[in-house]
Amino acid sequence: MPITCKLCNKEFERITPTHLHYKHNGMTMIEYRRMFPAAPTLSNEAKYRIDPKPIKYTITCPNCGVTKTLEKKSLCAYERKFCCHSCANSYNSSKNWASPEYRAKMLKTFQSPEHSAKLSKLGIEKWEDLEYRNKYEGERDIKYTIECPNCGKTRTFVKDHPCSYENKFCDRACAVKFRWNDPEQYEQICKNMKQACNTPEARQKNSDTTREQWEDPEIRARRLAGMRKTMQTEDYKRNLAEAMDKTRQTEAYQQAWAEGMKMRPNKPESTLFELLSEHDYKYTYKGDGSLWLGTKNPDFIWQEENKIIEMFGSYWHDESEIETRTEHFAEYGYDTLIVWDYELDDTETLLTKLEKFHQD
């Protein structure tokens, strides 16, 4: 059944955008549809000839991952790959921006004086439009109040204020902190960062950037000053000590430490060990890393008597370590005696000290 044109009252099978009656009456097809929204522009016979049997197919959008069923020649089937034009534009833009040549070309265009002048001219022309200006100023008068879920502050913003991040937080810093404190979002952020940073290109880029920055004397001096300041804080020292304690308790560290100390026992330890053996003190040398009590490796141990002897060199140790070592081994049920290297010069005094230690 043909359709009737509302302008000339004649019957046609279809009224296309190039229909002569539009031109005769001085309007476009869009104006025709606005004037007669209920008027058809295509007869049923013409529809059937164009697409007698609509074909449906399913696609998975490579940008958002949504699965959608579309009809043949559907306006949303952009290149028959994406669910909509927005996803297609977003996907293609990301793909193009990953290309160094495209990125350099676009940055060159955006930074050119001609582009800046063009944007300035368009902005001035748009602002001179009274209808647009009144609409924009009217929207800015709209205010709303939010309570930030991160810091709890209440703030009032105008519509589309740049600091009203997602219309939920008082500023972007609070939005980032809120997401960082959320375990699920924290895990996702870390996952995305690892994926982005573990590529060969990202590692090479970070290496080149760090090297370039470190060659700058001002940046190097500023970073070294910040590192020294951080290393002097009590929090840093405490965290470093806790991390080292955890590391020392691992089997890999203890094995590596023992392999690196192949020259043990040293000369003072050998002298003390000979003296202990001569006077029937049944100590075993464990300073090679073969025995660990928590995070400490004792030098000599007599397990049957629960006795430990530590050989301290005056160059490497000071008196502040005596209490720390003694208390640490006491937690495991051992009595500890500290012997200094200079005490080996006076054998009689040292034997008296050993005898008193074993009588207690």
Span 23-44, average pLDDT: 70
Rounded distance between C-alpha atoms, residue 167 and residue 296, angstroms:
55
Specify the CATH architecture of the domain 263-359: 3-Layer(aba) Sandwich (3.40)
Query: In DSSP terms, which residues pair with 68 in a beta bridge?
Result: 59
- Pick the most confident of 23-27, 133-137, 287-291, 299-303: 299-303
Residue 169, token pair as written in the block? 């937080």
338 pLDDT band (50/70/90 cuts)? very high
pLDDT digits (tens, 9 = 90+) for 325-334: 899 999 999 9
* Residue 75 in this model has a pLDDT that exceeds 50: no
The number of C-alpha atoms within 13 Å of 178 and in the hemisphere containing its C-beta is 15
Per-residue confidence (pLDDT) for residue 262, from 0 to 100: 62
20 pLDDT band (50/70/90 cuts)? low
Per-residue confidence (pLDDT) for residue 76, from 0 to 100: 47
How high does pLDDT run on average in the chain? 79
Domain boundaries, the chain: 3-50, 56-106, 109-180, 263-359
Query: In DSSP terms, which residues pair with 58 in a beta bridge?
Result: 69
Q: Cβ-count burial of 11 within 10 angstroms (0-12 exposed, 13-18 middle, 19+ buried)?
A: exposed
Residue (of 293, 275, 283) closest to 329 by Cα position: 293
> Peptide bond before 37: cis, by omega within 30 degrees of 0?
no
In the chain the beta strands, taken as DSSP E runs, fall at 3-4, 11-12, 56-60, 67-71, 143-147, 154-158, 284-285, 300-302, 307-312, 335-340
pLDDT digits (tens, 9 = 90+) for 260-288: 666 567 888 899 999 998 888 999 998 88
Rounded distance between C-alpha atoms, residue 22 and residue 307, angstroms:
108
101 pLDDT band (50/70/90 cuts)? confident
Asked if 211 and 220 touch (Cβ cutoff 8 Å), the reply is: no
Higher pLDDT, 292 or 8: 292
80 pLDDT band (50/70/90 cuts)? low
Neighbours of 354 (CB within 10 A): 19
* Residue 222 in this model has a pLDDT that exceeds 80: yes
pLDDT digits (tens, 9 = 90+) for 122-174: 888 887 887 777 766 665 556 677 888 888 888 776 655 544 455 677 777 88
pTM of the model as a whole: 0.37
